Amino acid sequence: MSQRRPEAKTPGLPFHLSQRAPAGFRIAAPLRPKQRVRVSILVFNAGSSSLKFGRFDVAAETSGLSGQFDWAGGDRGQARCTVRTPGSGERCSIVALPDDRAAVAEALRHVATGSAVRLVAHRVVHGGVEFGVGARIDAAVKTAIARLAEVAPLHNPPALAAIEAAETLLPGVPQVAVFDTAFFARLPLRAALYPLPFEWHERFGVRRIGFHGISNAWCAARAAAMLGRDPFGLRLITCHLGGGCSATAVRDGGPVATTMGFSPLEGLMMGTRCGSVDPGILMHLLRRCGLSAEELESALNHRSGLLGVSGLSPDLAQIEAAAAGGHERARLAFDLFADRVRAAIGALAVTLGGADALVFTDRVGEGSPALRAAACRGLECLGARLDPDRNAVAQPDADVAAADSTMRILVIHTEEERWIAREAARIAGLAADAR
């Protein structure tokens, strides 16, 4: 008997259109009727160690100038600025950026052209369970983003700073928030629930939320296209590896399981975040070692991960260079990171009952052949065989699996800003075919 295909959905919506929205979800009303004018959308993607920006037309299929400020080295006062112009390549420089507001102002200096900008779209990492696909930004939405900063302290504050800076610098231009958490609205309860007192879930909303959803949505669609497959029936493991890191099992274009949880602190080891640790350690540090909750939170978010183990840097490129030079703790940090990624891939493959493709994306996933090789070492038992020559020279988007690998291994450039622009245009009611 043939398998019944699921009901068609609007891309990005976390539930069937024929169903009512889950309790607590907010779906924003359109900003205005569909327009038949050419519209530019500015996109800001504030991450834990970067601010990406770009300018897109309303169809979100062609982009103008784009770029990013990168603080991966740990110095928030100085950022590496990369600006890409269609037809002119990219140029890099080091710029002084004392705070997130200054970064937005510098980005606008590159991409904004006054009245032609009709919409500003922002990636917001944590939208909790109260927001659906996205929302027009108003005072209530900003209050919710600020409130959720308690569980996303590295992400929601920079996003809010970008929103407020854009309000000041582009007065009167509507803004839309697209939430990283929306992709995981369909996460099964058995995958979302923690084995804690059930009343904590009911009373306090304690559950796995999931993050890097925008990247997962893009990579799932791109992987299907690269493989020439329909997303329905396709089993993927997506490793989003950058300043923040997570791995997600995707089936039929939607999430089955993910490593990040109630906050972006859980799961894989990251640049400055610890990932999953024994909660007994935290209780011991609080009760016996004299650390306060504030000191503990700061250490877990800002002084752990690659930085904490190596003592050098949260940037894997610097860790790799130091390890090659004989730095023992740098080598330890690299090996520990690769082991955590490999373990997650194995667990998610079993959850899916096998995987058709493994995806590496974001700064580390796309840019480190050594990490991909280390993470794939031992995965032959799952049918994943890396081609070392392809891997060494791969540029996204590429398949770096060996010819006899039954699991394809894809390096995909995550285009979060393009996905954000698409979603923002849809939420705003702007015509996708405007020219």
DSSP 37-92: S--EEEEEEE-SSEEEEEEEETTSSSEEEEEEEE-TTS-TTEEEEEEEETTTEEEE
Chain-centroid distance of CA 393 in Å reads 24
Q: Which two tokens stand for residue 301?
A: 């978010």
Task: Give the residue among 423, 414, 433 at the shortest CA–CA distance from 12.
Answer: 423
- Among residues 57, 99, 138, 180, the one annotated as catalytic is 180
40-202: CATH superfamily: ATPase, nucleotide binding domain (3.30.420.40)
Report whether 272 contacts 301 (CB < 8 A): yes
Class of domain 229-411: alpha beta
Interval 393-404: pLDDT, tens: 999 999 999 999
* pTM of the complete model: 0.83
What does the alpha-carbon distance between residue 153 and residue 252 come to, in Å, rounded to a whole number?
A: 32
What does the alpha-carbon distance between residue 41 and residue 39 come to, in Å, rounded to a whole number?
A: 7
Report whether 48 contacts 56 (CB < 8 A): no
In the annotation, is 180 catalytic? yes
Report whether 247 contacts 344 (CB < 8 A): yes
Angle at 154 between CA 341 and CA 361, to 5 degrees: 35
Decide: residue 247, CB within 10 A, 0-12 exposed, 13-18 middle, 19+ buried: buried
β-pair type (134-136, 175-179): antiparallel
Q: Tell me which H or E stretch contains 222.
A: helix 213-227
Q: What residue spans define the domains of the chain?
A: 40-202, 229-411
What does the alpha-carbon distance between residue 184 and residue 273 come to, in Å, rounded to a whole number?
A: 21
- pLDDT tens for the chain, 435 residues long, are 434 333 333 333 332 222 233 333 233 333 444 444 456 899 999 877 788 898 887 654 567 788 889 886 666 678 888 888 877 778 888 888 887 788 888 888 887 654 477 899 999 999 987 776 789 999 999 999 999 998 888 889 999 999 999 999 889 999 999 999 999 988 999 999 999 999 999 999 999 999 999 999 999 999 999 999 999 999 999 999 999 999 999 999 999 999 999 999 999 999 999 999 999 999 999 999 999 999 999 999 999 999 999 999 999 999 999 999 999 999 999 999 999 999 999 999 999 999 999 999 999 999 999 999 999 999 999 999 999 999 999 999 999 999 999 999 999 999 988 899 988 988 888 754 333
Task: Give the residue among 84, 161, 83, 148 at the shortest CA–CA distance from 122.
Answer: 161
Within 8 A by CB and 6+ apart from 138, the residues are: none
What does the alpha-carbon distance between residue 312 and residue 329 come to, in Å, rounded to a whole number?
A: 9
Which one-letter DSSP state was computed for residue 353? T
Topology agreement, domain 40-202 and domain 229-411: yes
Report whether 44 contacts 55 (CB < 8 A): no
